[in-house]
Structure 1
Amino acid sequence: MSDGNKRVCPVERAGRLDNRIRRWLQNPHKIVGPYIEEGMTVLDLGCGPGFFSIEMARMVGKSGRVIAADLQEGMLQKLRDKIQGTELEERITLHKCEENKIGVSEEIDFVLVFYVVHEVPNQEEFFNEIGVILKPKGQVLVVEPPFHVSKSAFEETISQARNVGLTLVERPKVLLSKTAVLKKS
């Protein structure tokens, strides 16, 4: 999902993505809670070390499933180490994306794309692939960092998502972020 021109967060910095301070500032339950119900199949796209994946797995319950997808095997290994031997291991499926393809084929109720889209070289193809796997009325929460993504670049991201048939539903507030919730008709 990167062509080398866009930087991805290196595995060595994974600790910055999952720590108590971030959990306090960007509480996963508060951010994704309004969109996830028990029994859902959800996709954490660009999951990193699992900051959101673990909380999402608790929220979908035993009848639900989280697909934690990342481009880097090292990030997936960090998440694997966290959930190994726990009940969450049954609910979280780890998936390694390809360079320019998500590669998930299951139907998805909810997709989280947190601080990832700015790393994707072809956003229209990216959102098209999400649109294909998203169930009707399924939602996508796009969250981008304001320090990497300008307002105009974020609006272009939303435009790319709309071009493939996703509809803008709301713009929830997330600290240190530009956000949008999009829905499949």
Structure 2
Amino acid sequence: MNRVLAIGVVVALGGAVGSADEPPKAREKPKYEYREDHDPDGIGKFYMGREIAQVMGYGGIGWLERKERIKEEDPEKLMKALEVKAGAVVADVGAGSGYHTFMLAPLVGEKGKVIASDIQQEMLDAVTKKAKQLKVPNVETVKGTTTDPKLPAGGVDLILLVDVYHEFEFPFEMTEKMVAALKPGGRLVFVEFRSEDDKVLIKPVHKMTERQVLKEMAAFPELGHTKTVGTLPWQHVVIFSKKEAKK
């Protein structure tokens, strides 16, 4: 082997070893923007071109439990679309009054668990009270923060977000934590009122297009878009799965 070729081989091998020892690059965090001119139902904070909506407070719990919700959202059809398995650990993030929590509880069964996560203690108190009244033992409440839903790392099979993601003050940080909480193959499910449809009578900042959901989740390569269910009356169900770790 001549001297030039030998040097080239050493350099190539050295570079390969060096790159293998380099720590993985940190995830690039998209910047938030703040605007004074914004929708009155928003908080003036924008993420990837979308204004973040105001959070529905405990005073709106009656709206969450309204009878019209059955016609407007068809939650039974949503439950079927989720294909929840017995024994699963499911997190209802932004659970509110627990409307969907108590629909999920019988699906996961005695060996499963539903974690109701919310940032408002009043909402969690309402869930706890209802669980006692209905004698539902497999519901657990967790108080999250605006940046962390406080879910067990790598311990959740399904995270359900019903009409709530658009209200996250820190959507990037929340998603990062939720992805970490999913088991390999676990699913992250967005249920959002369709912004593409003018007939959906919901305030604009409280709706999202499928395209926007996909855009925001593109920051997380661990997630793969599995499918979008468009059979609900007013909402679409955008489903992502956490990819298996490479061996």
Question: Is TM more than 0.5 here?
Answer: yes
| Residue deviations 1:99-128 (CA, integer Å, cap 9, x gap) | 322111251001100111111133222221
Q: TM-score, normalised by structure 1?
A: 0.88
1:112 corresponds to which residue?
160
Q: TM-score, normalised by structure 2?
A: 0.67
Match of 1:76 among 110, 124, 135: 124
1: distance between equivalents of 2:113 and 2:143?
16
2:142 corresponds to which residue?
95
Does the 8 A contact of 1:28 with 1:51 survive in 2? no
Q: CA deviation at 1:22?
A: 0.9
After superposition, the Cα gap between the structure-2 partners of 1:61 and 1:69, relative to the gap in structure 1 and judged at 3 Å, is same
2:212 corresponds to which residue?
156
> RMSD over aligned Cα, in angstroms?
1.9
1:122 corresponds to which residue?
170
Pair member with larger Rg: 2
Q: CA deviation at 1:98?
A: 1.3
The DSSP-based 3-state class of the residue aligned with 1:171 is strand
Match for 1:181: what amino acid? I
Q: CA deviation at 1:95?
A: 0.7
2:223 corresponds to which residue?
166
2: distance between equivalents of 1:130 and 1:66?
15
Does the 8 A contact of 2:146 with 2:168 survive in 1? no
The DSSP-based 3-state class of the residue aligned with 1:56 is helix
- Aligned-residue sequence identity (percent) comes to 23
1: distance between equivalents of 2:79 and 2:73?
10
Q: CA deviation at 1:150?
A: 4.6
After superposition, the Cα gap between the structure-2 partners of 1:51 and 1:101, relative to the gap in structure 1 and judged at 3 Å, is same
2:7 corresponds to which residue?
none
The DSSP-based 3-state class of the residue aligned with 2:140 is strand
1: distance between equivalents of 2:133 and 2:168?
33
Q: Larger deviation: 58-67 or 12-21? A: 12-21
2: distance between equivalents of 1:98 and 1:150?
23
Match for 2:211: what amino acid? E
The DSSP-based 3-state class of the residue aligned with 1:67 is strand
1:184 corresponds to which residue?
242
2: distance between equivalents of 1:32 and 1:45?
16
Does residue 177 of structure 2 align to residue 132 of structure 1?
no
Structure 1: which 5+ runs fail to align?
A: none
Does the 8 A contact of 1:18 with 1:50 survive in 2? no
Structure 2: which 5+ runs fail to align?
A: 1-41, 44-52, 196-203
Does the 8 A contact of 2:81 with 2:229 survive in 1? no
Does the 8 A contact of 2:74 with 2:233 survive in 1? no
The DSSP-based 3-state class of the residue aligned with 1:19 is coil
Higher RCO structure (Cα 8 Å, ≥6 apart): 1
Does residue 67 of structure 2 align to residue 20 of structure 1?
yes
